[in-house]
Amino acid sequence: MSKSVRIGLTTAVSAAALIALSQIVAAQQNAYQTIDNFFQLPEGRKIGSTAGITVDRDGASAWVFERCGGQDCVGSSVAPVLKFDATGRLVKSFGAGMFLRPHGIHIDRDGNVWVTDGEGPDGKDQRRNGKGHQVFKLDQNGKVLMTLGKAGVAGDGPDTFNMPSAVLVAPNGDIFIGDGHGGNSNARVLKFSKDGRFITSWGKKGTGPGDFETPHALAMDSRGRLFVGDRGNGRVQIFDQNGTFLEEWKQFGRPSGVFIDRNDILYVADSTSDQKTNPGFTKGIRIGSVRDGKVTTFIPDPDPNGSQEGVAVDAKGNIYGSLTGGMALKKYVPAAAGRTN
């Protein structure tokens, strides 16, 4: 075969491969349809910067932990914990005056609401004093059932946190906390018993296995493996429940939000990737199975100026995303379902 023929065949194969790849990407990106203005708020009320979003045990209602219509809740009288029913109607709100910078949210098997307050006093604004750096367990009416951490105290001991980002409760009631949000904060995961007794912790700042640079989100699969969104290192790290490192996945981008549904499908919200920060990746939601770690679907960030940090999925497969930059909530429905509505 002549050299020119080989080059021609190679070019043709390369072009075909690129076309096939583009078709696959297009199909992935068209797999979901964005529903605008799904979440309904009273007139004059707006959604603030929001990292925390999840789904209730009923598989239909969505819970949001937002920053009081702005960038934080300092001095605000607005309730930042919001519950929306399956139609997007606001049915419950509470938590006014309790938090400084709402961050993570989780609903346990008993329906309790767990939230993390990710900042504390700054030595300047007195309204911050005596609050922050804590994790709260609330009932569905906002009654405080448990508090972990010391109000307004940043620390790295077993009873103090420094900018806790995420909380998750295992099926047996054990509590896991992702403690840290970059900078001079912590970089670790802590484990507590269901009654709040400290059991163990692991992690430090670094890039090695088990190290963290912003343990921003937590999820658990049906096998009991703990998935940690190690955003600063651009990876999802997987551990057993005692902190033993199992593996890491970098194919999901820089994970700000991590959610695993009832079918062991993994959803990762990437709010920070670009060609400078994480070459080869862009912002959006990547979807794949926890069984093999393959990314099968990608939903691009609908707002190029936004930062979609939170992600959750209801029992019907509808995806909910929350934005910090952009201050919005999004709903994505499977395209086939969207065409029938």
214/246 same-domain check:
yes
* CA atoms within 13 Å, Cβ hemisphere of 10: 7
pLDDT band for position 30 (50/70/90)? low
Q: What is the CATH number of the domain that holds 127?
A: 2.120.10.30
User: What pLDDT digit, counting tens, does each position of 146-164 carry?
Assistant: 999 999 999 999 999 999 9
155/26 same-domain check:
no
User: What pLDDT digit, counting tens, does each position of 250-261 carry?
Assistant: 999 999 999 999
Q: Is pLDDT above 60 for 232?
A: yes
pLDDT at 336: 73
81/97 same-domain check:
yes
Query: Which of 168-177, 199-208, 283-292, 302-311 is the least confident region?
Result: 302-311
236 vs 247: CA distance, rounded Å: 9
21/60 same-domain check:
no
90/15 same-domain check:
no
1/126 same-domain check:
no
60/2 same-domain check:
no
Q: What percent of the chain has pLDDT over 90?
A: 86
168/191 same-domain check:
yes
* CA atoms within 13 Å, Cβ hemisphere of 311: 32
The 10 Å CB-count burial string (b at 16+, else e) for 39-49 is bebeeeeebbb
As a whole number, mean pLDDT of residues 41-68 equals: 97
22/146 same-domain check:
no
23/101 same-domain check:
no
Number of domains making up the chain: 2
Q: Give the β-pairing of 265-270 and 188-192.
A: unpaired
128/4 same-domain check:
no
219 vs 284: CA distance, rounded Å: 18
Order of strands, sheet of 308-313, starting from the edge strand that comes earlier in the sequence: 32-35, 329-334, 319-323, 308-313
| Cβ-based burial of 133 (10 A; exposed 0-12, middle 13-18, buried ≥19) | buried
Look up the domain containing 124 and give its range. Answer: 33-340
8/106 same-domain check:
no
Helix, strand and coil content of the chain, in percent to the nearest 5, comes to 10, 40, 50
Q: Is pLDDT above 90 for 11?
A: no
Distances (CA, A) of 294 to 10, 266, 330: 28, 10, 24
Among positive and negative, which fits the CA dihedral 124, 130, 135, 139? negative
User: What pLDDT digit, counting tens, does each position of 290-306 carry?
Assistant: 999 999 999 998 877 77
User: What pLDDT digit, counting tens, does each position of 109-138 carry?
Assistant: 999 999 999 999 999 999 999 999 999 999
